[in-house]
Amino acid sequence: MTERVPEPVPIIGPPQELDLPISEPAFPQIFEIEDDTPTVRHKLSKPEVPCTGYELKIPESQSPFASYPFLLHTTKDLPWKVVVSTEKLVLRSNRCTGHGQSSKKGKEVKPLACTFCSSLDNDTTVMGIRHRSLDGAHENTPWPYLTPAEMYASLLKKNGQINHLRLRSLNNAATIGVRNRHLDAWKRLAAALGREDIPRIRSLMAVQTRAGASVFSIIEKVDDAAKRKYSPRGYVQQDFERAFLIYKLGGRSAANIAHRSLGIPSIDATKRHIASKPLQASPGFPTPAELTSNLEHCYPNINLPDSTTAVIPISMLMDELKVQGRLRWEPRTDYILGVCREHGHECALEFRSIVQADAVADCLRKKVVHLAEEVCYRILHNRL
């Protein structure tokens, strides 16, 4: 640096003209300072916010540990990682920078996910996970796409179906076994019925069926009936009528033989079941009292007509039957029957002792009376 020093000026003496140099106009001086230190420029920036990741929304009733299909990472190359806690489930993109965005509301700064993590919201796989979490998985969904909770529910359903099928198979096996035993028993019953001549087998089967007997009980009864150790008592009206007819046509002996061989009801049971009242036979010409008695017996519910009852027309048919000519005694009226109606009044037909019987025999020998060989019968027919 160069300095300019002024020359000395005399103070005492006459004034002298000073030869002063004319100064140049003053300008600001510039100093150059050389420094090897680099200049640092400070830039003002926002505070860094960590990326929060993409939070996968799940229902409140579900646990984060059971609401994500973890097996999906073993079958597909997914561009995110999973961070699970007891409160939430977070997905972080593999391209996450670690620095997120922020949202300022008043004095509160809320951190947000970065752009890569936020883009996971539109990923089709993530969308499928959300939909299955809300609406439930379809029954045909592949296993890797199911969450642990859905797998557990499917496992319970499968176990229930297996138990149901197992129990049903056991029940079917037991049912088939029982039915096989019954089929064998029915075959034995058919063989027994084909070999043995069992009387009244239809009545036996009807009685056992009404009693609710099984096929095994029926086989035992059939065996007893074949050995004549058992005879069914379930008679129907036709059995009693058949026994009554045999009794009337063949007498007591024929009825007893039919009871032992054919299994029809006995005579006493038939009489108790069929309360028959024989018609009153006329030894001579029928009297009004005899006709009235027979009509009351044949039509017990007929009421006598009065002035207000309509008259019902009835046709009477009359005919004769050929019978064996012989005398018979009627114990109810104590009359001797079998004499012709035209000459019956010629002798005493009331039986009081052997004398009347001998008198009738004398009249027959003398041709005073004759044996009746025809019986007249009448049939009433309602014409309405």
- Residue 380: the pLDDT is 63
Residue 113 lies in a domain: yes
Q: How many domains does the chain have?
A: 4
Q: Are residues 212 and 292 in the same domain?
A: no
Residue 259 lies in a domain: yes
Q: Are residues 119 and 187 in the same domain?
A: no
332-370 pLDDT tens trace: 888 888 888 788 778 888 888 888 888 888 888 888 888
Q: Are residues 295 and 347 in the same domain?
A: yes
Residue 185 lies in a domain: yes
Boundary-marking domain end, from 141, 171, 189: 141
Q: Are residues 162 and 133 in the same domain?
A: no
Boundary-marking domain end, from 76, 109, 141: 141
Q: Which of 10, 134, 143, 9 is nearest to 69 (CA)?
A: 143
Q: Name, of 16-30, 35-49, 81-95, 303-317, the range with top average pLDDT.
A: 81-95
Long-range CB pairs of 224-227, under 8 A, 24+ apart, other chains included: 225/198, 225/199, 225/201, 226/192, 226/196, 226/198
Give the pLDDT band of residue 30 (cuts 50, 70, 90): very low
Give the pLDDT band of residue 326 (cuts 50, 70, 90): confident
What does the chain come to in residues?
A: 384
307-321 pLDDT tens trace: 566 666 777 677 777
Q: Which of 30-44, 162-176, 234-248 is predicted with the least confidence, judged by mean pLDDT? A: 30-44
Beta strands in 95-252 (DSSP E): 101-105, 108-112
Residue 14 lies in a domain: no
Residue 28 lies in a domain: no
Q: Are residues 356 and 292 in the same domain?
A: yes
Q: Which of 359, 75, 24 is nearest to 349 (CA)?
A: 359
Range of the domain at 70: 54-141
Q: Are residues 65 and 99 in the same domain?
A: yes
Q: Are residues 245 and 217 in the same domain?
A: no
- Residue 172: the pLDDT is 93
Residue 17 lies in a domain: no
185-235 pLDDT tens trace: 888 888 877 777 777 777 778 778 878 888 888 888 888 877 777 776 667
What share of the chain in percent tops pLDDT 70?
A: 78
Average pLDDT, the chain: 78
Residue 26 lies in a domain: no
Q: Are residues 164 and 218 in the same domain?
A: yes
Q: Are residues 219 and 241 in the same domain?
A: no
Boundary-marking domain end, from 108, 141, 174: 141
What share of the chain in percent tops pLDDT 90?
A: 9
Q: Mean of the pLDDT values across residues 42-62?
A: 74
- Residue 177: the pLDDT is 92
- Residue 171: the pLDDT is 94
Residue 93 lies in a domain: yes
Give the pLDDT band of residue 165 (cuts 50, 70, 90): very high
User: Are 208 and 218 a contacting pair, CB within 8 Å?
Assistant: yes
Structure tokens at 240: 């009693």
Q: Which residue has the higher pLDDT, 360 or 162?
A: 162
